[in-house]
Amino acid sequence: MVLAHIILGFLALAPMTGYDLKRHFDSTVGHFWSADRAQIYRALATLVADGHAEVETVAGSGAPDRQEHRVTDAGRAALAAWLAAEPERHVDRDPFLARVFFGADLAPDALLALLARRRAEAQTRLADYERLRAESDTGTRAARLRLATLDNGIAHLRAELTWLDAVTEEFA
Amino acid sequence: MVLAHIILGFLALAPMTGYDLKRHFDSTVGHFWSADRAQIYRALATLVADGHAEVETVAGSGAPDRQEHRVTDAGRAALAAWLAAEPERHVDRDPFLARVFFGADLAPDALLALLARRRAEAQTRLADYERLRAESDTGTRAARLRLATLDNGIAHLRAELTWLDAVTEEFA
DNA sequence: TATCCCATGTAAGCTGTTACATGATTTG
DNA sequence: CAAATCATGTAACAGCTTACATGGGATA
């Protein structure tokens, strides 16, 4: 499972609660992975059961108790093994392209509205990523690798925008 | 469910068996959607149960019987409604980028091997798509829309290759 | 005083993958 | 004669999403 290994990767940086992890998913890896709370809590329980992580309950002063998870040596080994393993092949399923594919059954203005909407979303995300990029650290090799994944997202968004312009013009 | 609507879209073009649909998934929409047989047969059963499709058993001369599915009026209406509906938001989860993100824990040559492998895959797919594109019909509006989705795949693969070259150079 | 944030989890349902199971015909 | 293709389906499991459920502290 990829999710469990991404969590191990985060825990290897610092001990965290499920809630902390959710924030990391949404901010730092949101451009190539997402996970919701239910998934994260289950994955954490599995990691603990497998001996890849340990929990420590930290009494919250005022706030609720924090279930801090930290990676174990076995967990670090599992992360290293996964990183070096054969990558799982992945298929991107994009409902938007499915709509375009069968778009002949759609009124011309509805098609243009669909494209315009996609364009607006891409542009918003591109602006977000570029802001994030500008704020990013480029010191260490680790930081530059993380930045590279963000650049991947930026490159794909730019390609998408160029494609959208061409298609919009063709079907306008 | 997106899958069910893609199937309706195919059935609207011609009546088909689950087996036929599988071939269509692999060839014509493989660049933005995939589905396996188990999924397709289940989805077909659901479509029939919902009145969106009808089955007719066609005795196979020599070959096994074909369960031909054809879209009903209700099915066509459902397809049209889906095409015009709010697009479901989609998150692309890419395990490769997860590996790069935590790639500092990987030996430098293992990272380069990972990038090289991704590059080879992207190039193979790009060649496939370009061949498909060359063979494609551009006559009708419907055909041009289908071609546009293929161009989307091509645009993203080119962006990926450019990014891979830059990253490979940076971390070489 | 109402809403947001912190922080936890469970339950049910849907989607996707893998393995099991069968059998005739066509092609190399 | 072996392998691929045509054609159907079931069972079990894995992964993801949505809804339900709770409660205190901080902020507007």
Q: Tens digits of per-residue pLDDT, A71-82? A: 999 999 999 999
Contacts of B87 in chain A (CB under 8 A): 95-96, 99, 114, 117-118
Predicted pLDDT at B87: 86
Closest residue by C-alpha to C1' distance, nucleotide D18: A38
d(CA B122, CA B97): 14
User: Do B123 and B70 have their domain in common?
Assistant: no
Q: Which residue of chain B comes nearest to A167, CA vs CA? A: B148
Q: Tell which residue, A87, A156, A97, has the closest CA to residue A122.
A: A156
**Is A106 strand, coil or helix?**
coil
User: Do B76 and B129 have their domain in common?
Assistant: no
The packing angle between helices B2-13 and B73-84, to 10°, is: 130
User: Do B7 and B77 have their domain in common?
Assistant: yes
User: Do B131 and B64 have their domain in common?
Assistant: no
Instruction: Calculate the angstrom distance between C1' of D23 and CA of A38.
Output: 19
Task: For residue B147, tell me if it sits in a domain.
Answer: yes
Contacts of A113 in chain B (CB under 8 A): none
b/e burial code for range B36-63 (CB count within 10 A of at least 16 → b): eeeebbebbeebbeeebbebeeeeeeee
- Assess whether pLDDT exceeds 60 at residue B61: no
Looking at every residue in chain B, the average pLDDT score rounds to 93
| Cross-chain Cβ contact A91/B156 below 8 Å | no
Q: Residue A103: which of B32, B145, B152 has the nearest Cβ?
A: B145
Confidence at B62, pLDDT banded by 50, 70, 90: low
Those residues whose C-beta lies under 8 Å from the C-beta of residue A167, and which sit 6 or more positions away, are A100, A115, B148, B151
User: Do A80 and A99 have their domain in common?
Assistant: no
User: Do A100 and A77 have their domain in common?
Assistant: no
Task: For residue B69, tell me if it sits in a domain.
Answer: yes
Q: Return left, alpha or beta for A94; rule: phi > 0 is left, psi -120 to 50 is alpha, else beta.
A: beta
Residue stretches of chain A with pLDDT short of 50: none
Residue pLDDT, tens place only, B6-26: 999 999 999 999 999 999 999
The count of domains in chain B is 2
User: Do A80 and A100 have their domain in common?
Assistant: no
CB burial of residue A60 (10 Å; 0-12, 13-18, 19+): exposed
User: Do B16 and B72 have their domain in common?
Assistant: yes
Predicted pLDDT at B60: 64
Tokens standing for A20? 């902390």
Boundary-marking domain end, from B61, B84, B107 = B84
User: Do B41 and B110 have their domain in common?
Assistant: no
Task: For residue B144, tell me if it sits in a domain.
Answer: yes
Q: What are phi and psi of A69, to 5 degrees?
A: -105, 135
User: Do B64 and B113 have their domain in common?
Assistant: no
Q: Residue B104: which of A84, A99, A142 has the nearest Cβ?
A: A142
The whole domain housing A161 covers 95-171
- Mean pLDDT, to the nearest integer, of B63-88? 91
b/e burial code for range B127-166 (CB count within 10 A of at least 16 → b): eebeebeeeeeeeeeeebbbbbbbbbbbbbbebbbebbee
CATH of residue A78's domain is 1.10.10.10
Instruction: Calculate the angstrom distance between C1' of D18 and CA of A136.
Output: 34
